[in-house]
């Protein structure tokens, strides 16, 4: 974006539809779970809202949990991935022989989940499942299939419910598509 452009947000998925889908996803995961404890690992920052909603529902399903976070980032200030994933925080939970659920907001090129999953698998969890709220299969660069997907969406830049554009809009309780409009052009 440059100084002569305004950000335009167009609603994509409502708060209600998110709630229904997250509820169904958690039910599906709870049905598959067959361990003594689930270790839920969130990829920050984007997953924070999705993960917070999920863990409250795991509680309803009586799934015992440990929660930890990894910080990884591949985007700079714009809408394009830099292509390089930086992991700046690791978990400090022992996942050996445990059921692990790795949660992210969006699966895009596949670089982040591919890298982080490979790192976690080296620690020999009993089971590693991946869960993303959004999947953009058209953008894939590295083949990666998440075990649980909330919504499959087209190749549009999306913000809200944890996802940002240039560090903004993460707090929106719904998802919107971002576009840009020139300030000087009337439409």
Residues at the contact surface with ligand PRP, assessed by CB under 6 A: 43, 45-46, 73-75, 81, 104-112, 164
Smallest distance from ligand PRP to CB 87, Å: 11
Host H or E run for residue 84:
strand 81-89
User: Which residue, 63 or 128, is less far from ligand PRP as judged by CB?
Assistant: 128
Smallest distance from ligand PRP to CB 181, Å: 23
Residue 43: closest CA among 84, 96, 101: 101
User: Which residue, 30 or 85, is less far from ligand PRP as judged by CB?
Assistant: 85
What CA–CA distance (Å, rounded) separates 123 from 98? 10
User: Which residue, 157 or 180, is less far from ligand PRP as judged by CB?
Assistant: 157
User: Which residue, 64 or 76, is less far from ligand PRP as judged by CB?
Assistant: 76
User: Which residue, 5 or 73, is less far from ligand PRP as judged by CB?
Assistant: 73
Residue 30: closest CA among 50, 59, 53, 51: 59
Q: Please check whether residue 5 is in contact with residue 183, taking contact to mean a CB–CB distance below 8 angstroms.
A: yes
Query: What's the first-to-final CA gap in the chain, in angstroms?
Result: 18
Smallest distance from ligand PRP to CB 53, Å: 16
**53, 104, 105, 108: which one is catalytic?**
108
Q: Are strands 81-89 and 65-75 parallel, antiparallel or unpaired?
A: antiparallel
How many other C-beta atoms lie within 10 A of the C-beta of residue 114? 18
Would you give the DSSP letter of residue 153? -
How many CA atoms, within 13 angstroms, populate the side-chain half-sphere of residue 2?
4
Closest residue to bound ligand PRP by CB: 46
Smallest distance from ligand PRP to CB 144, Å: 7
Known catalytic residue at 108: yes
Smallest distance from ligand PRP to CB 152, Å: 14
Per DSSP, the three-state class of 111 is helix
Q: Give the catalytic positions in this structure.
A: 108
């Amino acid at each position: 974006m440059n100084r002569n452009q305004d950000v335009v947000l167009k609603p994509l998925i409502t708060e209600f539809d998110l709630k229904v889908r997250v509820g169904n996803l958690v039910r599906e995961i709870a049905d598959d779970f067959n361990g003594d404890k689930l270790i839920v690992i969130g990829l920050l920052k984007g997953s924070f809202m999705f993960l917070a909603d999920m863990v409250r529902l795991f509680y309803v399903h009586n799934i015992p949990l440990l929660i930890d976070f990894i910080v990884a980032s591949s985007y700079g200030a714009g809408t394009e991935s830099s292509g390089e994933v930086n992991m700046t925080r690791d978990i400090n939970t022992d996942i050996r022989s445990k059921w692990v659920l790795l949660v992210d907001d969006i699966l895009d090129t596949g670089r982040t989940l591919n890298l982080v999953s490979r790192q976690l698998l080296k620690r020999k969890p009993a089971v590693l499942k991946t869960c993303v709220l959004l999947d953009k299969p058209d953008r894939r660069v590295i083949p990666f299939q998440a075990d649980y997907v909330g919504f499959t969406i087209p190749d549009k830049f999306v913000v809200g419910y944890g996802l940002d554009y240039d560090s903004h809009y993460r707090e929106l309780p719904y998802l919107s598509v971002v576009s840009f409009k020139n300030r000087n052009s009337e439409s």
